[in-house]
Structure 1
Amino acid sequence: MIATAIAAPMTVLLAFLLSAGHSPEPSDNKDPAPSGSVLPAVTAPAPPKPDAATQAACVKVFAKLPVQLGQLPPRRTQTDSSFVAAWGDPAVVVRCGVAKPAVFGTPEAAQLVEVNRVLWQPDPQRDRTVYTTVDRSVSIDVTVPAGADQPLPLLAPAVSALPALCTATDAAGNTGAKLPICSADR
């Protein structure tokens, strides 16, 4: 019964995401990604195999992800996980059930970012920034290519399907990596 409750929404969601980019009109393919065409699949590393609680949490989040992320059309993903989604070119990629970022809670960590009541640990890299939630029962990361519009406000409603377990805000409203946050024991 539990497997059916998880599998049925995932099947519907995956079918919807995979068919969302298909256009009934033929495309002349003059542009690499003309409006209405399907972008090629994105290869993304799979998050670790989820336990039952992680799987249930990721189902809640993925059920609320937008089909189109702002102006970015959906993309298929090539991965061993059903908890990876992508939009646009270059792709914004969401993965659910990932590990907390290695820099989280260290002096090297960048300042936490709060977007619509979701706390993210940014990990700036040369050509992208990876944002990982740090205040939910399951960690979700979002890879944002350099120069892309910030998608976190559009993703916050889906992430908010999971209740916040903590805050990183002091009495003055300051948010930062050095402030108290959820313990590793949760």
Structure 2
Amino acid sequence: MAVMIAVIAVAGCSSSDDSATAAVPSPDTAVAALCRNLDRALPAEVDGAGRSDPEPASPLTAGWGNPAIILRCGVVRPPKMADPKVAEGRDPDAVAGGVNGVDWLQEKQDGGHRFTTANRSAYVEVTVPEQRDSASVLVDLAPAVKKAIPEGIAD
């Protein structure tokens, strides 16, 4: 399962047209409805970059800029979210924290970071390339996440 999650989380550029791509999650009906609400609430700009959604088009994915900031809603819970080392601050590659009322798990990745919401009714994953300001990205996305994804524990 962890290998599958890593493969699903990959976002990149296609060789033919330089468009960002992202695997579309397949959440249950209730989570998909929350994700559609989030899609309608997302900002037009994140970290100063205009919205440019990845392929294939889906209300469960969004993107901004180049290199692309990629958001995927309805992903499965990351394994590190249940790791006691993360909660205790002993994992060098993952940190839990909050930005403007939204809790996130931050995981280092080659070329940037992956953030996944915690304590929300759906998991929202945001991949931020190292060239982007992660703090600015999370500040820009917090109002939409708070509006569309209620506090709670996702399944």
Quickly name the TM-score band, shorter chain normalised: 0.7 to 0.9
**Deviations along 1:55-106, whole A, 9 cap, x unmatched?**
2111211111011214102213112633110001110000000011111121
Equivalent position SS for 2:32? helix
**1:160 to 2:137 alignment:** no
Q: What is the TM-score with the length of structure 1 in the denominator?
A: 0.63
Residue-by-residue CA offset, 1:24-49 (whole Å, 9 max, x unaligned): xxxxxxxxxxxxxxx952111111x2
2:114 corresponds to 1:130: yes
User: In angstroms, what is the RMSD of aligned CA positions?
Assistant: 1.9
The structure with higher relative contact order (CA 8 Å, sep 6+) is 2
CA distance in 1, matches of 2:18, 2:105: 29
Between the aligned partners of 1:88 and 1:125, the Cα distance in structure 2 is: 19
SS of alignment partner, residue 82 of structure 1? coil
Alignment of 1:29-108 (within 5 A): 40-47=18-25, 49-79=26-56, 81-108=58-85
SS in 2 for 1:75: coil
User: 72-81 vs 136-145, which deviates more?
Assistant: 72-81
**Pairs aligned (count):** 129
Q: Please tell me whether the aligned partners of residues 50 and 65 of structure 2 are also in contact (alpha carbons under 8 angstroms).
A: yes
Which entry has the higher C-alpha Rg, 1 or 2?
Answer: 1
Change (3 A) 1:50 1:108: same
Q: C-alpha distance in 1, partners of 2:142/2:53?
A: 21
1:46 counterpart SS class: coil
Cα distance between partner residues in 1 of 2:29 and 2:50: 30
How much does 1:135 deviate? Answer: 0.9
Q: Could you tell me which of 97, 108, 124 is aligned with 1:113?
A: 97
Q: Does 1:149 align with 2:149?
A: no
Residues 1:40 and 1:68: Cα distance change in structure 2 (over 3 Å): farther
Q: Aligned letter for 1:44?
A: A
Question: What secondary structure is seen at the aligned counterpart in 2 of 1:103?
Answer: helix
CA distance, structure 2, for counterparts of residue 148 and residue 95 of structure 1: 17
Distance 1:128 1:51 in 2: 29
